[in-house]
Amino acid sequence: MPLQVMESSIRARSGQLEDSADLLVVTPHHIALVAGLSFGATTGGARPHDLPPARFAAVVGAAALRDLPPSADLRDAADRLTRALSTALGRTRHGEARLQVAFALAAVSAARREVWQLGAVGAHWDGGTAGQGVYGLPNQLPSLAAAAQARAVFLHALLARGDAKTAATLRHDDPAQVIIAPLLTAHAALANTTGPFGYGLVDGRPVPDEHLRVHVLPPGPREVCLATGGYPAVLGTLQATERHLEDVLAADPLLTTRFPYVRPQRPGQDGYADRAYVRVRVW
């Protein structure tokens, strides 16, 4: 058994598991997390195959991963996943427009003893970590971090002025969303571009080589932890990773100081985003 799941979790921000756009894929050859994304109003309320758009993208990615050849490298995998999503989107059109969805990926390849990252996902293993920058934000997504910082500046200014605004009221009604909307549109447009603000994502377009992150594991048994962007950091156990998230949200539910993000944790929601975690034993 070259790969073994030691523990895993999938949580939806809404609290309803069927809404989650983060999925776990387990095959004899690969263990992966797929994090689906949709680009705001561009989905226009569509529900392809009666699924939320981001979950639809993740389901397509999960199916393609299950068919991945054992010896595939990340370049081959990214190309196959891109073709799968492009084909699915071609069959599922929203009026005259193509649905604007994508997914990120973190995976372990048994045959290649590699950890893969594509998009805003984190990885941790005994002896190394990858994809975690300041506050746990993936350091390869500066455009998203810029939008989060702009939101933080705007909300801190409102709180400093008073204006009958409190952190609690801003969690219910976040006026910064209108301010950062153009930045989020720009962030989406930068997917699979090169240059200082580009980043990788499976969205139906070719993924540049520079956005494919591959880490070769040292010889011998190893434990690898993968997590999607719903966690501020990836730690060595699910309990520790969840506890860190709880600490962040308890200290900063508006998500403007300890962990600046593009939206708050809304009251009644389970976290600030869908999230998934898996700890894998690689023999």
What one-letter code names the amino acid at 37? L
- For the chain, domains (ranges, CATH) are 3-133+199-252+269-282 (3.60.40.10)
202 contacts 82 by C-beta, under 8 angstroms: yes
Each of the 283 residues of the chain gets a pLDDT tens digit; together they read 699 999 999 999 999 999 999 999 999 999 999 999 998 654 456 787 788 999 999 999 999 999 999 999 999 999 999 999 999 998 876 555 778 999 999 999 999 999 999 999 999 987 655 544 433 344 458 999 999 999 999 999 999 998 768 999 999 999 999 999 999 999 999 999 999 999 999 999 999 999 999 999 999 999 999 999 999 999 999 999 999 999 999 999 999 999 999 999 999 999 999 999 999 999 9
- Distance in angstroms between the alpha carbons of the first and the last residue of the chain: 7
* Full-model pTM: 0.92
Burial 121-136 (b: 16+ CB within 10 A, else e): bbbbbeeeebbbeebb
